[in-house]
Amino acid sequence: MSPFALLALAYGAGATPTSFWLGKAVYGADLRTKGSGNLGGTNTFRVLGWKAAVPVTLVDIGKGWLPVWYFPQIQSEAAPSTWALAYGAAAVLGHAFSFWVRFKGGKGIATSFGVLLALAPVAVMICLAVWIGTVSVTRIVSVGSVSAALTLPVVAYLLPDREGSAMVWFAVALCAFVVWAHRSNIKRLLRGEESSFRRSAPERGSETNPETNPEFSPQQGEDSA
């Protein structure tokens, strides 16, 4: 199959707005207007709870993993293996800029995890450990996401990979995209205004109601996933 057709399919897979469809179908909620408005796992958790966030996150990971793992197996034999990197990039961009929801979406963390799980599982496990450790200490998801992203190029450079230098440059590009996607979070961190998980997550339907949840406001900041 043509790698260009597969590239379009990878974008389409990534563009599947998992949290938006689940919120609408099961909870009757439009996550674009709830919490931070971000269509990722973190906002799903804050607004709808863990029972919604777990399947959303798993599907978002799968959206990145499947094209990178499977599409190279069905692409034209003449196409180089480095097309797997392009499929991964397309999936992440699809998640962040989904045509289903007017080119809005999440910040690509879970989908990037899926991409890297297929490309460089050892590297992604190291980045996951950095994410867990950072979030455990700071209780701020965006700090963990940015820290893991900054770790990725270093790990990709130090660990041998079948894609060679192409994987290192892919890691640099992915890191730059994640940092760019979190630019508003970084500004709030510098001002000391970034939201954290030190407060409990809001009950569904109370995230915009100050009478039922006075501590939470959608203006507190965007999410990280």
Same-domain status, 137 and 82: no
Q: What is the mean pLDDT of the chain?
A: 87
pLDDT digits (tens, 9 = 90+) for 120-170: 999 999 999 999 999 999 999 999 999 999 999 999 999 876 667 889 999
Residue 224 neighbours by CB under 8 Å, 6+ apart: 40, 42, 107, 109, 141, 142, 144, 145, 182, 185
pLDDT of res. 208: 41
Domain hosting 191: range is 120-199
- In a domain? residue 219: no
pLDDT at residue 215 greater than cutoff 80: no
Q: Where are the beta strands (DSSP E) in 10-136?
A: none
Does residue 216 lie in a domain region?
A: no
pLDDT of residue 61: 97
pLDDT at residue 222, rounded to an integer? 59
The answer to whether residue 75 sits within a structural domain is yes
Residues 18 and 54 in one domain: yes
Answer yes or no: do 170 and 94 share one domain. Answer: no
Token duo for residue 203 = 């009950």
Instruction: Give the global pTM.
Output: 0.83
Residue 85 and residue 134 in one domain:
no
Instruction: Tell me: do 91 and 128 sit in the same domain.
Output: no
In whole angstroms, give the CA distance from residue 212 to residue 218. Answer: 14
Same domain, yes or no, for 94 and 154?
no
Does any domain span residue 214? Answer: no
Per residue in 171-204, pLDDT tens?
999 999 999 999 989 999 999 888 786 544 444 4
Q: Which of 73, 101, 129 is the last residue of a domain?
A: 101
- Side chain identity, residue 124: V
Chain segment 39-57, per-residue pLDDT in tens: 999 899 989 999 999 999 9
Residue 221, pLDDT score: 53
Q: Are residues 44 and 137 in the same domain?
A: no
9 and 89 inside one domain: yes
107 part of a folded domain: no
pLDDT over 50 (residue 119): yes
What b/e sequence results for 187-199 when a residue is b if at least 16 CB atoms lie within 10 Å of its CB, and e otherwise? ebbeeeebbeeee
Domain annotation covers residue 204: no
Domain count, the chain: 2
